[in-house]
Structure 1
């Protein structure tokens, strides 16, 4: 069975500033791990997160839930300037689709 820290969202990218690969975890934005290969950066950040989760659990602190395990309704509210709202409404009307369909299409690009 996978441990909780195996279900977190990890990413490895190149850091031009550090001239190394950096491993990060979306659920723990303050943590990172630098290494000379992407594989080592991933291994390092996963190990660091496991240590932090263990410490938090040992101190009875709340541990972040993995993003992948959360349920999303598919609904959220976003505020936009009135002129953008008008422009989207016109595009929707001209295309014969709902404003929701236009907004969803643009957000998924």
Structure 2
């Protein structure tokens, strides 16, 4: 399995005073380095090692977020007051609650 499609991020960690490389599909993995490029390379190399270990033990690696199929539907729970306000806003704009929620999510 290739490491190419996984979701990597490098950010500064004020706690560690170093850059930390992470990968969304393996939330328990990280790599610290003073150099951001080295943090990126480090996390990619670590994922390669983990994938090799998983292959040897017969474990199924996680599917990359980029390669997953998405239906376009998900359930969101909000407090009743927020639901009421969204319904009112949708009615005033003459759009469905679903359309209003989708517009607001897309704008964030």
Selected match of 1:49 from 43, 47, 56: 47
Separation in 1, partners of 2:2, 2:99: 36
**Equivalence for 1:65:** 63
**Equivalence for 1:85:** 83
Aligned residues: 107
Structure 1 residue ranges (4+ consecutive) displaced by more than 2 angstroms after TM superposition: none
CA RMSD, Structure 1 to Structure 2 (Å): 0.9
Selected match of 1:32 from 6, 30, 33: 30
Separation in 2, partners of 1:14, 1:95: 42
Selected match of 1:99 from 89, 97, 100: 97
Whether the aligned pair in 2 keeps the contact of 1:20 and 1:35 (CA below 8 Å) is yes
TM-superposition CA deviations, 1:23-77 (whole Å, max 9, x none): 0000000000001111100000000000001001110011111010001010011
Q: Gaps (5+ residues) in structure 2?
A: none
Whether the aligned pair in 2 keeps the contact of 1:4 and 1:66 (CA below 8 Å) is no
Separation in 1, partners of 2:33, 2:92: 52
